[in-house]
Structure 1
Amino acid sequence: MIGRWLMNKILDPLPVWLQVSLVLVCIGFIVWDHSFATKDAAFILHNHTERPISEAIVDDVWIGNAAAFNGYATGSGVICCAALKEERVEVQWRLSVTQNQYDSGVRGENRGKEISVPERAGDDLYLHVHIYPDNTVRLFWSETMQSRFQVVKGR
């Protein structure tokens, strides 16, 4: 009721052509936003290394951290949302250490790699970032939080 009263107070003094123009501009913006604007992505980090990842960054977007691979689980939570506009992105991560690794002399180290972003289908929301022990990084899009790369204990 208050919204209707407020709209009448704002729109009534305006000429009809201006009212129609305002409505068309609003509709045009909504159509453009859904059709042509870059879609945001949610990021899921998967760590396949025996060391924790204390931070991971994809093109200046912090995408989280992940525990060391325990043989079964690789993932972190979902970090939302940022737009990726480039065909190639810089993936940077910091390998941290567990207490046992620290006691044996292993220290944290920064790593990075430039990689191509795969094609994105219309309904894809999640960008899965998989980091492997040999510094290999694999990216893929999906509609769900499920990873298409199978986790096999010991690999």
Structure 2
Amino acid sequence: MNKILNPLPVWLQVALVLVIISPIAWNYTFTAREAAFVLHNHTERPISEAIVDDVWIGNAAAFNGYSTGSGVICCAELGKGRVDVQWKLSVTQNQYDSGIRGEDRAKEVLVPERTDDDLYLHVHIYPDNAVRLFWSETMQSKFQVIRGKEARDNVIGKSG
């Protein structure tokens, strides 16, 4: 590399370095940061698929009284403003035997403000098609183990 750069004037060496470094710095500084997604299911039915603005974010078992989480799907850019959240409610064998069938659901949701430290977007799906998004620095969500309507009332409010 020195054989190539040494014959060049210093100003040209600096210009070449800037040409190479500038796009990298611009991309890091001014483009949207990627997010990791964590799906939380607070319903009594499994979610076989969830999508946020065309980004598949996973699936989740029916709420079992302890855990609502699905794991982390990484990573995709997510804009500001409103996003479309789509999910497919599936059924357990007992639910199927009782006549319940799968359903497609969708809701438009506002993406909350994100701090510089936030990496994980927690997508909480509650009964009655309620959906709330929360940013977090970690994979843990403060609303992770609250069940069904109780979770909805605590997070959304009783009038929700």
Paired residue for 2:84, among 61, 78, 90? 90
1:27 corresponds to which residue?
A: 21
Hey, what's the Cα distance between the residues in 2 that align with 1:8 and 1:66? Answer: 55
Hey, what's the Cα distance between the residues in 2 that align with 1:12 and 1:73? Answer: 62
Cα deviation, residue 117, structure 1: 0.2
Q: Match of 2:115, SS?
A: coil
4+ residue stretches of structure 1 with deviation over 6 A? none
2:56 corresponds to which residue?
A: 62
2:36 corresponds to which residue?
A: 42
Hey, what's the Cα distance between the residues in 2 that align with 1:55 and 1:150? Answer: 19
TM-score (norm 2): 0.85
For residues 80-105 of structure 1, what are the alpha-carbon distances to aligned partners after superposition, in whole Å with 9 as ceiling and x for unaligned?
01111241000000001111111111
For residues 25-82 of structure 1, what are the alpha-carbon distances to aligned partners after superposition, in whole Å with 9 as ceiling and x for unaligned?
2332333223211100000000000010000000000000000000110000100011
- Name the Cα RMSD after superposition: 1.7
Identity over aligned pairs, percent = 78
Paired residue for 2:99, among 105, 111, 132? 105
Name stretches of at least 5 consecutive residues in structure 1 with no aligned partner.
Answer: 1-6
Q: Match of 1:77, SS?
A: strand
- Name the aligned partner's letter for residue 141 of structure 2: S
Q: Does 1:81 align with 2:75?
A: yes
Instruction: Answer whether contact 2:63 2:147 (CA < 8 A) is retained.
Output: no
Hey, what's the Cα distance between the residues in 2 that align with 1:90 and 1:41? Answer: 16
